Chain A
Amino acid sequence: MEEILTHATAEPSDKWEVQVRKGCLELAILAVLWSGRLYGLEILRKLADSSALIVPEGTVYPLLSRLKAEGLLTSEWVEADAGHPRKYYKLTAIGRRRAAQMARFWSTFSANLDRLLAPLRKEER
C-alpha cells in the first residue's frame, strides 16, 4: 500500500521536472553559445558543468538541428587537431535577439515565482 502511494506521488512531479528541464533546454543552449562558437560535445559539457541540467545527449543534437533550421544558429565544419572534424554552432543575429528576449522573460518570471514560493520555503525550514 505504501509503495503504491509513493509511486503515485513520484510520477507526476517526475514528469513535471522533465518538462521544466526540457522547456529550459533551448534557452540554456542559446545561452552557452552567447560568448562564441562551440561544437556539440562542448555544449553538452558546459550544460552539465554550469547548470546541473541533466541533458540526455540524444536530445541535444536534434534540438541543435532544429534551432539551425529556424535560423537561430548557423553551423560550420572545422578540421581539428584531434584528427576528426567538429561541427561548430554559432548564434545568428536572430538567435541573439531571441536569446535576449527569452532571458528577459525568464528573469521576470522566476522572480515572480520566487516571491510566490517564499512562504513555502519559510515553513520548510
Chain B
Amino acid sequence: MADTEIAQRKIKKYLQDVAAALRGLPAEQVRDIVEELRSHIVEKTNEDMTLADVDSVLAGLGSPQDLASMYLADDLQTRALVSRSPVLVLRSLFRWASLSFASFFVLLGSVVGYFMAASFVGCALLKPIHPHTAGLWTIPDATEPYSYSLRLGFDSVPPGSTDVLGWWIVPIGLAVGFGLFFLTARFGLWSIRRFRRASPMAVYQKQVRDSR
C-alpha cells in the first residue's frame, strides 16, 4: 500500500517536472502532453504498481528535461519555419545555441543581420523627420581619411562630414534593409532546418545508451 503511494507520488512528480520544463508552450498543449504521458505510464505499469515498474517506465521515457527539450525544439522550429517571424527565428536559434558551437555563431550572425536590417530601414524612415542629420555620412577620422556612418539623425553631425546619399537613402535604405531582413531570415531558417535534421539526435543517442 505504502509502495503504491510512493509510486503514485513519483509519477506525479515526474509529470510536474515535465510540465515545468515545457513552460513557454500554450497551457492547453502542455496539459495534452502531460495527459498523454500519464496515460502511457498508467497503462504500462498495470494496476499493481510496483516501484520497480514505475522506475523502469519513467526511465524508458528519459529525464523530464530531455523529454521536454525534444517537444520544445520541435515546436519552436515548426513555428519558426511556418511564420518566418524574426522573434521565432531568433528564439529557435537561441535554444540551439546552447547545444552546439556552430549554432552559436549562426545566432550571432542572425542578430547582427537583423540589427543592420533594422538600422537601414530605420534610417530611411527617419530621413524625412531629420532631413539634415540622418543618412549615410562620411565623417573625418583620426586614423583614416574618413569613415562611413549610418546615422539615424538624433545627434548633430560632426563638422567636415558629408551626406553621401542625400534623399537616395530612403529608397536605398528600404531596399537594403528589407533585403537584409530577407537574407537573414533565409539564413536562419536554412540553419534551423540543418540543425533539425541533425536534431534531437544528441538526446536520442543519449536515450539509446541509457536504455541499454
A interface with B by C-beta (< 8 Å): 15, 18-19, 21-22, 39-41, 54, 56-59, 61-63, 65-66, 69-70, 77, 82, 84-87
**Smallest distance from the beta carbon of A28 to chain B beta carbons, Å?**
14
Q: How many A-B residue pairs have CB under 8 A?
A: 81
- Say yes or no for B49: interface residue by CB 8 A criterion: no
- Say yes or no for B122: interface residue by CB 8 A criterion: no
A42's nearest neighbour on chain B, judged by CB, is B43
B71-86 interface with A by 8 A CB criterion: 71, 74-75, 78
| Interchain CB contact under 8 A, A18 and B208 | yes
| Interchain CB contact under 8 A, A56 and B62 | yes
| Interchain CB contact under 8 A, B205 and A58 | no
Residues of chain B within 8 A of A61, CB atoms compared:
33, 36-37, 40, 61, 67, 71
| Interchain CB contact under 8 A, A69 and B78 | yes
Bound CA–CA A56/B39 (angstroms): 17
B interface with A by C-beta (< 8 Å): 32-33, 35-40, 42-44, 60-62, 66-67, 70-71, 74-75, 78, 200-201, 203-205, 207-208, 210-211
Most B CB within 10 A of own CB, among A18, A65, A70: A65
Name 30 A/B residue pairs within 8 A (Cβ), A-sorted: A18-B204, A18-B205, A19-B201, A21-B208, A41-B40, A41-B44, A54-B211, A56-B60, A56-B207, A56-B211, A57-B40, A57-B60, A57-B61, A57-B62, A58-B66, A58-B67, A59-B200, A59-B203, A61-B36, A62-B67, A62-B70, A62-B200, A66-B74, A66-B75, A66-B78, A69-B78, A87-B32, A87-B35, A87-B36, A87-B39
